């Protein structure tokens, strides 16, 4: 008896495409029956991620990968070698399909239209304890989206925002998780969003760094002026034998004041302004 070699998944694609084209060629949209069949085909194509997830779930649960020609030992090997997916990606498709099936069984006529939407919505189910139970949070979030948003505007991003009000801020800020968590805590303590809290911090920093009004600028006192004179003189006259309080305070660092100290003195002297006389 001749042994038939197992065909790869990719080798079936050309045959499948030919079958799809033949099925579409036979469709007749000129009557009700044609439209009913057309709508069925469209739904089958648009929600194909559900079928894919259900197939993967059956292969995983029945360990069907052990009976393929390669006799694979694990589901992870099957995903990597046959599907060119990681096991995490395959499990994600299974969870997305399960989420869509749960919503359908809960009475929703509008379901997530693609894998991306269903995968994001699965997060709501994971927030609730237990796997084989009702998921009121999932139903509430999806119900609110369906009731308040037109179907074409229900996107993966819209679902993310429904799950997490701070989602948009997280995407735009791109802060490290540790800093974002701290900012989020502080914002909540103040009753603000993260964006409002950070905006307040920026405004406060801008106030602190605002240039000082010349009218109220700090004046150089006589004591400060004497120290500056001594520092400048010693830099300009390095052989001077004068020993001042400034020298003693700096002696632990060097035998004489360094250039940056003299530069600081020079800048300070240059910036001195006489106090404005009020009229």
In a domain, 237, yes or no: yes
- Tell whether 203 and 257 lie within a shared domain: no
Query: What is d(CA 253, CA 273) in angstroms, rounded to the nearest whole number?
Result: 32
In a domain, 193, yes or no: yes
In a domain, 54, yes or no: yes
Share of the chain above pLDDT 70, in %: 65
Query: What is d(CA 128, CA 162) in angstroms, rounded to the nearest whole number?
Result: 16
Contact 22, 72 (CB under 8 A): no
Q: How many domains does the chain have?
A: 3
15-19, 74-78, 239-243, 275-279: which has the highest mean pLDDT? 74-78
In a domain, 240, yes or no: yes
Query: What per-residue confidence (pLDDT) applies to 192?
Result: 81
- Tell whether 194 and 235 lie within a shared domain: no
Least confident of 59-68, 91-100, 153-162, 189-198: 189-198
Kindly report the pTM of this predicted structure.
0.57
- Tell whether 54 and 106 lie within a shared domain: yes
Q: What are phi and psi of 41, to 5 degrees?
A: -65, -40
- Tell whether 198 and 246 lie within a shared domain: no
Least confident of 23-27, 78-82, 157-161: 23-27
In a domain, 69, yes or no: yes
In a domain, 147, yes or no: yes
Q: What is the extent of the structural domain holding 190? A: 174-207
C-alpha distance from residue 115 to each of 10, 35, 45, 80, 230 (Å): 21, 26, 12, 20, 76
- Tell whether 159 and 122 lie within a shared domain: yes
Contact 125, 135 (CB under 8 A): yes
pLDDT digits (tens, 9 = 90+) for 93-129: 999 999 999 999 999 999 999 999 999 998 887 776 5
pLDDT of 14 above 80:
yes
C-alpha distance from residue 47 to each of 100, 101, 137, 144, 156 (Å): 9, 11, 23, 21, 15
In a domain, 13, yes or no: no
- Tell whether 56 and 133 lie within a shared domain: yes
In a domain, 92, yes or no: yes
């Amino acid at each position: 008896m001749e042994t038939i070699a197992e065909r790869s998944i990719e080798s079936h694609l050309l045959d499948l495409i030919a079958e799809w084209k033949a099925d579409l060629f036979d469709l007749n949209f000129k009557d009700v029956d044609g439209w009913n069949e057309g709508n069925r085909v469209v739904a089958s194509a648009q929600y194909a991620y559900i079928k894919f997830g259900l197939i993967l779930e059956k292969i995983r649960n029945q360990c069907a990968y052990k009976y393929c020609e390669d006799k694979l030992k694990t589901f992870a090997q099957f995903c990597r070698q046959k599907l060119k997916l990681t096991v995490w990606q395959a499990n994600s498709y299974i969870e997305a399909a399960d989420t869509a099936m749960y919503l359908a069984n809960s009475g929703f006529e509008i379901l997530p239209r693609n894998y991306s939407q269903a995968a994001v919505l699965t997060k709501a189910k994971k927030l609730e304890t237990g796997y084989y139970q009702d998921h009121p949070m999932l139903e509430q979030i999806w119900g609110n989206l369906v009731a308040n948003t037109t179907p074409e505007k229900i996107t993966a991003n819209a679902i993310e925002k429904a799950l997490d009000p701070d989602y948009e801020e997280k995407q735009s800020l791109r802060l490290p998780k540790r800093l974002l968590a701290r900012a989020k805590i502080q914002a909540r303590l103040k009753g603000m969003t993260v964006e409002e809290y950070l905006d307040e911090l920026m405004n406060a920093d801008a106030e602190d760094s605002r240039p000082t009004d010349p009218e109220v600028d700090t004046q150089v006192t006589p004591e400060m002026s004497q120290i500056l004179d001594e520092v400048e003189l010693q830099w300009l006259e390095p052989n001077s034998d004068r020993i001042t309080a400034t020298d003693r305070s700096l002696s632990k660092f060097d035998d004489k004041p360094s250039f940056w100290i003299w530069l600081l003195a020079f800048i300070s002297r240059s910036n001195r302004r006489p106090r404005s006389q009020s009229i």
